[in-house]
Amino acid sequence: MDFRVTEQDIAVNGSVFSQTVEQAIDTDFTLPDYCPDISRILKCRVTPRINSSVVTGGMLTIEGTAYICLIYADEEQGDINSFEYPWSFTKTVDTEPDIDGTVKVKAKTEFINCRAVSSRRVDIHGAMSLDIKMKRKYRRQIVCDIDAEGVQMLRENVSMTSQIGDAEKYVIINDDMMLPEEEPSIRTIIRSDANAAVTDCKIVSNKAVIKGDLAVSVLYSSDVDRALHVFENVLPISQIVDIEGINEDCCCVIDADVITLDVKPRTGMNGETRAIGLSAKILVSITAYCNTEVPVMYDVYCTKCGVNCERDTVVFERLASEVRESFECKKNLDLPADSIATVLDMWCDSSVETVKCEDKKLIIGGKVVICMLGEDKEGSPAYFERPVDYEYSHDLETTLEDYRCSPSVVSLASSYNMTSPSSVEVKVELNISAQVFEIFKKNVIVSAEANEEETNDAMDRAALIIYYAEAGEKLWDIAKFYNTSIEEVMSLNGIGEEVLSENAMLLIPSV
């Protein structure tokens, strides 16, 4: 007896490598001649950026640059100055020899110690963590239909989210940003930041149209009174990325990481420095998913012969929720008595510490490090830093037993208000981007064939068998036990439910 088996190829998403490694930061540098001597270090800030990550021969090679920004008070006039030193690093990590997939590396500064060994030389010691995740798309074949006389199949359509493809594209932004007319011209730039966030993604045939913002913040000292001023601007990000196979029903997981950032003052024809030249390179990484229904088979038997089948546990994913919105973190901070009396600048660094789904809610917790530059009561430069906790929640349609979610939390803007001489109210706008995938397992049939050595013994049985069933029994199990058709059992007994809700006497036909 021949079984005409129909198989379906499904794409299953899987993690093939996950590890967090440490990269030491050990370097020193000497200030260039145009920088004044160091009197006191206020802040040493390290911003690590990943340039590339390549897997070859069971080895992952990560190359990046840590941008070390030294903010200090000079010896001559006690003014706030800065110098940025780019420190390149390479990290190699052993992986399995035959492993491949899409690699994503997130770098985070864990700690940094900065010491001025002289008025012009600085020693830097610290560490950063490199969070490595590698995913790939597996192809699995499952049995979805068998065409043969007497074959009984237990099937259902399973809703799942399948990875369609991924792509990376660099976005280059070059812009000359003009200062407002009321602001003084620039003497020197003290600090510059740029954070990228995707705010919208529209999908047309085989293309993803991405829009977002590059939030730019620049602290500079003026050439009029050497006072500090903050310039902020938002530059639009717009890009079209080709991804074969995506359509309007798909969704995208998007990361936008600033790879390089160069900010310099620009002097105009009139000799005034009233423009800031920005050059940024942004890596946009996209993974496209599409919701689909897959017919799966849990069990099979045949009333004419035996069936040899192989089962396997397949892990499915389903997009449960998608988040792309702003969240305000608002805190009141007490300033130490010997700390800042006047705030001149504030910036923030955000991180994700915990992700959990419980009670029909997605809860993302983390820290925002509030960094303030200003003056103390005597008018001398001062620096204050305080980490604060935030918690963001988003309603889910159902409680998830198992899930995966790797949110992106980016600080787009911040503001402060001195509520008293010793306290300050801070507000931080966080851009939250997250996709929550429900993970569930199904034990399904992956191969099946007829076993003609096993035959049906219905000829040795009565035409009808009386069976006293109990509430909660499944008609499939009863029909399979008596090697008969479940449709015949339901029709003969006038039953429309597959699980009995009460005790019943059933007539079991022989087929």
Place of tokens 């920088």: 35
270 pLDDT exceeds 80? yes
Round the average pLDDT of the chain to a whole number and report it: 91
pLDDT tens profile 329-346: 999 999 887 778 888 999
If residue 488 lies in a helix (H) or strand (E), which one and from where to where?
helix 486-493
Q: Using the CB atoms, write b or e for 101-130: b if 16+ within 10 Å.
A: bbbbbbbebeebebebeeeeebebebebeb
pLDDT tens profile 83-120: 999 999 999 999 876 666 788 899 999 999 999 999 99
CB 309 within 8 Å of CB 5 = no
Measured CA distances, 464 to 3, 261, 477, 488, 499 (Å) = 28, 81, 17, 11, 21
- The 10 Å Cβ neighbour count of residue 351 is 15
215 pLDDT exceeds 60? yes
Higher pLDDT, 396 or 457: 396
**Environment class of 95 (CB within 10 Å of its CB; exposed 0-12, middle 13-18, buried 19+):** buried
Q: Which of 483, 464, 481, 463 is nearest to 303 (CA)?
A: 483
| The length of the chain, given as a count of residues | 511
Measured CA distances, 372 to 345, 384, 426, 481 (Å) = 6, 5, 10, 74
pLDDT given at position 89 = 97
pLDDT given at position 409 = 93
Measured CA distances, 239 to 168, 175, 193, 268 (Å) = 11, 16, 22, 31
If residue 491 lies in a helix (H) or strand (E), which one and from where to where?
helix 486-493
pLDDT given at position 459 = 46
Three-state SS for 41-71 is EEEEEEEEEEEEEEEECCEEEEEEEEEEEEE
pLDDT tens profile 58-88: 889 999 999 999 999 998 778 899 999 999 9
pLDDT > 70 fraction of the chain, expressed in percent and rounded: 98
CB 462 within 8 Å of CB 510 = yes
d(CA 268, CA 277): 12
236 pLDDT exceeds 90? yes
Measured CA distances, 482 to 195, 354, 452 (Å) = 66, 52, 18
CB 342 within 8 Å of CB 381 = no
If residue 436 lies in a helix (H) or strand (E), which one and from where to where?
strand 423-455
Q: Which of 260, 316, 341, 267 is nearest to 441 (CA)?
A: 316
d(CA 15, CA 37): 51
* 246 Cβ contact list (under 8 Å, min separation 6): 164, 165, 203, 206, 207, 208, 252, 288, 290
Which pair of tokens denotes residue 436? 């929550």
pLDDT tens profile 122-143: 999 999 999 998 887 778 899 9
In terms of phi and psi (left: phi > 0; alpha: psi -120 to 50; beta: otherwise), the region of 359 is left
**Residue 257 Cα to chain centre, angstroms:** 12
Domains and CATH numbers, the chain: 13-135 (no CATH), 162-299 (no CATH), 320-445 (no CATH), 458-509 (3.10.350.10)
Helix (H, G, I), strand (E, B) or coil at 411: strand
pLDDT range class, residue 225, cuts 50, 70, 90: confident
41 pLDDT exceeds 90? yes
Which sign, positive or negative, has the C-alpha torsion 397, 402, 406, 412? positive
pLDDT tens profile 427-456: 999 999 999 999 999 999 999 999 888 776
- Residue 359 identity: D
Q: Name the DSSP letter for residue 399.
A: -
CB 168 within 8 Å of CB 256 = no
d(CA 50, CA 369): 21
Higher pLDDT, 250 or 157: 157
- Segment 135-163 mean pLDDT: 90
Give strand ranges (E) for 223-304: 228-242, 250-267, 273-302
pLDDT given at position 249 = 83
pLDDT tens profile 181-195: 999 999 999 999 999
pLDDT given at position 259 = 92
Q: Which of 303, 348, 355, 349 is nearest to 482 (CA)?
A: 303
pLDDT tens profile 243-265: 888 888 888 888 899 999 999 99
* 84 Cβ contact list (under 8 Å, min separation 6): 67, 68, 69, 70
Q: Using the CB atoms, write b or e for 357-375: b if 16+ within 10 Å.
A: beeeebebebbbebbbbbb
pTM as predicted: 0.86
Which pair of tokens denotes residue 129? 């963590």
